[in-house]
């Protein structure tokens, strides 16, 4: 189990408002927290590791939010790998273009 330190959590929550502003109105704080964490983890992780990095959200809640983000096209599940990997579909250029528009 990964132990996330308070300063890491503060760093993650610091960028949540930016994601909420840049992305359409169909994401909430939990979605933003997952997306920021995915960026922090290099855009590639598993659901178990993501759950470890988000101790204030329950595993079922994270699973639901991840499924919603997959449906919105922000994340992709890579079922070829076991455990199944999550891949961030957003990149810096995509976010920059949203910031400029």
**pTM of the entire predicted model:** 0.78
- Mean pLDDT across 45-69: 92
Which residues are CB-neighbours of 94 under 8 A, at least 6 positions away? none
Of 1-5, 11-15, 22-26, 69-73, the range with the lowest mean pLDDT is: 1-5
Burial class (CB in 10 A: 0-12, 13-18, 19+), 27: buried
The yes-or-no verdict on residue 10 having pLDDT over 70 is no
The yes-or-no verdict on residue 2 having pLDDT over 80 is no
Are 65 and 27 contacting, i.e. CB atoms less than 8 angstroms apart?
A: no
Percent of the chain scoring above 70 in pLDDT: 77
The yes-or-no verdict on residue 6 having pLDDT over 60 is no
Query: H or E element: which one contains 88?
Result: strand 85-88
- Mean pLDDT across 84-89: 87
The yes-or-no verdict on residue 80 having pLDDT over 90 is no
Round to whole Å and give the CA distance between 10 and 89: 24
């Amino acid at each position: 189990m990964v132990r996330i330190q308070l300063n890491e959590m503060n760093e993650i929550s610091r960028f949540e408002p930016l994601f909420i502003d840049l992305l359409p109105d169909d994401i909430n704080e939990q979605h933003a927290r997952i997306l920021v964490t995915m960026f922090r983890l290099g855009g590639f992780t598993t659901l178990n590791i993501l759950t470890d990095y988000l101790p204030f959200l329950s595993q079922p809640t994270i699973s639901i939010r991840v499924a919603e983000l997959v449906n919105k096209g922000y994340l992709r599940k890579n079922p070829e790998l076991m455990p199944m990997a999550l891949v961030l579909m957003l990149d810096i250029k995509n976010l920059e273009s949203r910031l400029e528009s």
